[in-house]
Amino acid sequence: MKPSVSLLTKYTSMLLLCVILGACSSDSSDNDDDDDGTGVVVNTAPTLNAGADQTVDSATSVTLTATITDDDSDYTIVWTQSSGTEVTLSDSASASTTFTAPTVSEYETLVFEVSVDDGVNDVVIDSVSVTVEAEGTTTTESDIWIINDTDAVSTNITDASTGEGILVDVQSVTEETVNGATYTVVTTQGIPEYDVTITQDIVDTLNARPKASSDFTDGATTAVAGDVVEFGADIGYISTGDNCDTTGGYGYWPKGPACPKADEREVYFPTEPTPTTEVCENGLGKVGLMVNGSSIYNWSDGMSYAQDGTWLNLAPVAEQYDVDVCGGHSANGDYHHHFYTSCLATLLGDDGDGHSPIYGYAADGYPIYGPWESDGVLAVSAWTTRDYSSSTTETGCDDGTRSCTMVDAYDVSLGTETATDGPAFDETVSTLSGNELTATNGYYYDDYYWDSELTALGGEYLDQYNAHSDDDRGYHYHITLSDDGDGTYSPAFPYVIGLRFAGELEDNAVASCDSGDTMMGPPP
């Protein structure tokens, strides 16, 4: 709602004039009819408020009510619609009017203007917006979830007992009411239907792996630029994990603990998430689902550099050579993503020319959108790497090394405390799968803290939960990337959702609050 232009002009002019003439009066009379000093009564312009902006459901009745103050009641009111799907107003010439919201397939904003003309002063105009939500807007919308309504099965991932392909994507999405609360219930076996068109960059990246000579049967990938590789198809890897021989898909995954298998589950998401009032850390295992049924895991790979749980590994860093060409892998047969996947982005048509669509839902019911905030603009994580260089900084250690951790990563003002020494920033460390990486700043969870000043900037900057709110989508998480500056992007901590859930977890949620005892010791 904007202020009346004519009123602003009138009052500004009157104030300037009285200051110049030295004739400003302290009279606080609320009489709108003023004497101009010659005995002539001045008719003041009406004041107008079109009412508060509204958000309504499709096909519901909407009432618009303007508040008008004037010297008398001798004025004319006119309501008009300036944008949005055209609706019929019940009475366009009175202060209050109604209409029926249109049925829309996606959010749409209607704008209405009301004008008041007292026949003496300039016409006063104000506007109000009505945002109409899509019919049945919940997480059950078929244009959000990738639903397999043809019983399509995976070509390469099969049931070990029957030899038949496993159903792909999401099998069903229904709505269910439990104890008065409404939930979206998603049924899936957790196997996505990814088809990857191999580029020369993909081939070169695969063959540039540090251990390519022992990762691939022939020392290099068998994938060729131009090939379309289905999920689980053999591209030459030596797949050594559990399920690789029994469920198919040998050759698609790097050496690791397991290949995916059917993971039948029903996952409940509250259709109206509730902001949490308690700290709820997200631990190992599922923290949500992608819209194709693949599991979402958090930032951790469950390992740490120190046996006391200090210097915790970040999965997207430590496991960068343990994931497939879609950036996913399996734990106990459960295929999952820890970070952005270009394969899902391709399925959703998300190319960065606008706000990303929904990629999934967190266990608390809040949606997870892709990395783009608007055309060419990434959503920005407010978690930033520490400055270890000096004890004079709130995040530094006395010796400039990894010898201290943050007292509270959410409150930088509390400073640091002594901790078990971590590796030097140029030290080589071994991952669980035997790859060697340099432990640069940002390798470990303990290298980060939440910068509240970034969050305060608003716009594309996110909060401590890796989320924010806007008028069209409400509160939502973002998958985060950082721009490498050369046309490429890297996963940005905390990658999908933050370290804690922003919403309350229901008793039937797919995740639970972490006890803090799930971290294991260092890799062998």
Q: Which residue has the tokens 């945002």?
A: 131
Specify the 3-state DSSP secondary structure of 202.
helix
pLDDT for 40 equals 64
Specify the 3-state DSSP secondary structure of 207.
helix
Q: Nearest Cα to 165, choosing from 182, 181, 148?
A: 148
Please give the Cα distance from 49 to 30 (Å, whole number).
19
What are phi and psi for residue 417, nearest 5 degrees?
-140, 155
Q: Is the pTM of this model over 0.95?
A: no
pLDDT for 58 equals 81
Length of the chain: 524
Ordered by start, the domain boundaries in the chain are 5-133, 283-524
381: tokens are 């994580």
Specify the CATH number of the domain 5-133. Answer: 2.60.40.10
Pairing of strands 474-478, 367-369: parallel
Please name the residues in contact with 391: beta carbons below 8 A apart, sequence gap of 6 or more.
397, 398
Specify the 3-state DSSP secondary structure of 184.
strand
H or E stretch at 130: strand 124-133
Please name the residues in contact with 298: beta carbons below 8 A apart, sequence gap of 6 or more.
282, 283, 284, 287, 315, 338, 494, 495, 496, 497, 499
Distances (CA, A) of 288 to 22, 269, 360, 495, 496: 68, 9, 7, 13, 10
pLDDT for 310 equals 92
Q: Are 181 and 189 in contact (CB under 8 A)?
A: no
Please name the residues in contact with 160: beta carbons below 8 A apart, sequence gap of 6 or more.
243, 246, 247, 261
Please give the Cα distance from 407 to 395 (Å, whole number).
10
Distances (CA, A) of 490 to 123, 300, 308: 55, 17, 29
Please give the Cα distance from 476 to 494 (Å, whole number).
15
Please give the Cα distance from 444 to 409 (Å, whole number).
13
Q: Are 368 and 496 in contact (CB under 8 A)?
A: yes
pLDDT for 134 equals 65
Please give the Cα distance from 487 to 478 (Å, whole number).
20
Please name the residues in contact with 376: beta carbons below 8 A apart, sequence gap of 6 or more.
352, 353
> How does pLDDT run across 405-442, given as a tens digit for each residue?
999 999 999 999 999 999 999 999 999 888 999 999 99
Cis omega (within 30 of 0) for bond into 260: no
Please give the Cα distance from 159 to 191 (Å, whole number).
12
Phi-psi region for residue 140, left (φ > 0), alpha (ψ -120 to 50) or beta? alpha
Question: Nearest-5° angle of CA 304, CA 306, CA 311?
Answer: 55
Q: Nearest Cα to 446, choosing from 423, 467, 413?
A: 423
Q: Are 66 and 51 in contact (CB under 8 A)?
A: yes
Please give the Cα distance from 168 to 191 (Å, whole number).
5
Pairing of strands 383-385, 372-374: unpaired
* Average pLDDT per block of 10 residues along the chain, 524 residues long: 33 32 38 54 86 83 91 89 92 93 82 93 92 58 82 93 93 91 94 95 95 94 95 94 88 91 93 92 92 95 87 94 95 94 94 94 96 96 93 87 95 94 95 91 96 95 95 94 91 96 93 62 30
Please give the Cα distance from 103 to 111 (Å, whole number).
16
Q: Are 355 and 369 in contact (CB under 8 A)?
A: yes
Please give the Cα distance from 297 to 92 (Å, whole number).
54
Please give the Cα distance from 127 to 18 (Å, whole number).
31
Q: Are 356 and 420 in contact (CB under 8 A)?
A: no
> How does pLDDT run across 136-181, given as a tens digit for each residue?
444 445 579 999 989 999 999 999 889 899 999 999 999 999 988 9
